[in-house]
Amino acid sequence: MYSFVQSFEERLIEIESYLELLEALENQVQEGLPQFGGDGSTITVQQQRILYSSVYLQLYNLVESTVTKCVDSISEIVTSQKFRPSDLCDELRQEWVRVIAQTHVELNYENRLQSALALFNHLVKSQPILEFEVKKGGGGNWDDQAIFKFSQRLGLSLKISPEAQQAVKRPFRNDMGTLLLIKDYRNKLAHGNISFAECGENTTVSDLRQLTYSVSLYMREVVNCFESFMNNREFLSPGLRAERIIA
pLDDT on residue 246: 47
Q: How many domains in the chain?
A: 1
Asked, for residue 118, whether it belongs to a domain, the answer is no
Per the prediction, the chain carries an average pLDDT of: 87
pLDDT in tens, 197-209: 999 999 999 999 9
pLDDT at 106: 60
Q: Determine the structural domain holding residue 155 and report its residue range.
A: 3-79+138-231
Dihedral sign from CA coordinates of 61, 6, 4, 151: negative
Task: Classify residue 72: in a domain, yes or no.
Answer: yes
Within a domain: residue 188? yes
Q: What pLDDT sits at residue 30?
A: 78
| CA-to-CA separations, 121 to 46, 101, 124, 125, 191, in angstroms, rounded | 61, 11, 5, 6, 44
Residue 87 placed within a domain: no
Task: Judge contact between 147 and 160, C-beta under 8 A.
Answer: no
Q: Does residue 53 form part of some domain?
A: yes
- Closest among 174, 167, 175 to 211, alpha carbons compared: 167
Within-domain flag for 99? no
User: For residue 126, is it within any domain?
Assistant: no
Count CB atoms within 10 A of the CB of residue 60: 25
With 70 as the cut, is the pLDDT of residue 110 above it? no
Q: Is residue 131 part of a domain?
A: no
The pLDDT tens digits of the residues spanning 34-79 come to: 666 666 677 888 999 999 999 999 999 999 999 999 999 999 999 9
- For the entire predicted model, the pTM comes to 0.87
Cα dihedral sign, 12-17-20-25:
negative
